[in-house]
Amino acid sequence: NPYSFPLAFTVDRGILGYSGTNTNSLANQDDFAARLFGMEAGLFEELRHDELEGGMLTSSGSALFRFTKSAQVQSPEQAVIWTARKTGPHYLSLDMRGHDTDGLELSVDGTNVQVDGKKKGIIELGSLDAGSEIRFSVQFADTAPESGSFEARVSSLDLDIMQALSLEAISRGIEDLTMKEDHFFGEITAEEEGLLLVTVPYDPGWKAYVDGEPVAIQTVDSALMAIPLNSGHHRIFFAFLPVGFHEGLFVSLAALCVLILTGGEKLAVRAYRKGSAGRTDRKTVEEGEDQENLI
């Protein structure tokens, strides 16, 4: 895969400033890519629409569309049309802002693509040829407001930039990687002081060690893990132990001890009672024999 990334690789410290709070999720990904190595990425290119159909729609910029219902507008279907500028993967980012609709359709060169207007997110359009037509049409329900807006943006992914990022990450990646169920380790060479980014979701149960010494784990947007590295060659070790494991083990052992003690006590009581009963029986028999001897 020419676009794969290693499990862990050195990155610029600027990655700690990343926050995926932009409402444009593709712009978030572009910002993340740029912060990896401290350079402009330009991973996604946003297309401007070519045409609006239906009479209700107006546009503001390349992604915000406003609708206004009117008695003069006869067509219930409103559409936005884009044309792919270059060959490559394309995506539609859609947010209908909760407006009720009677129908939504998305097609690429006449082939329908599944879309759910109730969900905000990114829809993969596939790898398109330059000149391909993307058409998004909507019919607003009677319960929708007389006017409102929605976001629909089409973007293309630059595979050359994606591959360049992948190659850079691989050149900075962890070596001699060994992965087990609850830990992994390897070696890394940092050309300069920075961070080791680990593409594993953060969990408080993770512990990190550099050259045998524990180091604090930092997080990127509360999602991925990163640890500080000085320049030079280092041995990296990550281990996972669920939070509360020791406490849970202690409670389990304590409960087991209580069970054993309780069970032991019950057995002791039973043994005592059985012994007492035996002694009582023997005493009764002896008393009976003594009475017979007297007779």
Does residue 5 lie in a domain region? no
Q: Which residue has the tokens 């500080």?
A: 228
Domain residue limits at 289 = 256-295
Q: Inform me whether the pLDDT recorded for 286 exceeds 70.
A: no
Q: Is residue 52 part of a domain?
A: yes
* Side chain identity, residue 186: G
Q: In this structure, are strands 77-83 and 51-53 parallel, antiparallel, or unpaired? A: antiparallel
> Domains in the chain: how many in total?
2
Q: Of 129, 157, 185, which one is at a domain's C-terminal end?
A: 157
Last residue of a domain, one of 157, 172, 204: 157
Contact present, 234 and 191 (Cβ < 8 Å) = no
Would 184 be classed as within a structural domain?
A: no
Is the pLDDT reported for residue 26 higher than 80? yes
Tell me whether residue 250 is in a domain: no
Which letter, b or e, does each residue of 129-158 get, where b requires 16 or more Cβ atoms within 10 Å of its Cβ?
Answer: eeebebbbbbebeeebeeebbbbbbbbbbb
Nearest Cα to 44, choosing from 86, 76, 8? Answer: 86
Please state, rounded to an integer, the average pLDDT across all residues of the chain. Answer: 87
pTM of the model: 0.76
Q: What is the pLDDT of residues 114-126, one digit of tens each?
A: 999 888 889 999 9
Per-residue CA distances from 54 to 78, 83, 150 (Å): 4, 18, 16
Q: What residue has token string 């990904």?
A: 29
Q: Look at residue 23 in the predicted model and tell me its pLDDT.
A: 81
Residue 147 falls within a domain, yes or no?
yes
* End residue of a domain, out of 157, 181, 206: 157
Q: Which residues partner with 136 through β-bridges?
A: 80, 106
CATH of the domain at 100: 2.60.120
Beta strand 206-210 with 232-240: parallel, antiparallel or unpaired?
antiparallel
Domain membership flag for residue 139: yes
172 is a domain residue? no
149 in a structural domain:
yes
- End-to-end Cα separation, the chain, in angstroms: 107
The length of the chain, given as a count of residues: 295
The confidence score (pLDDT) of residue 72 equals: 84
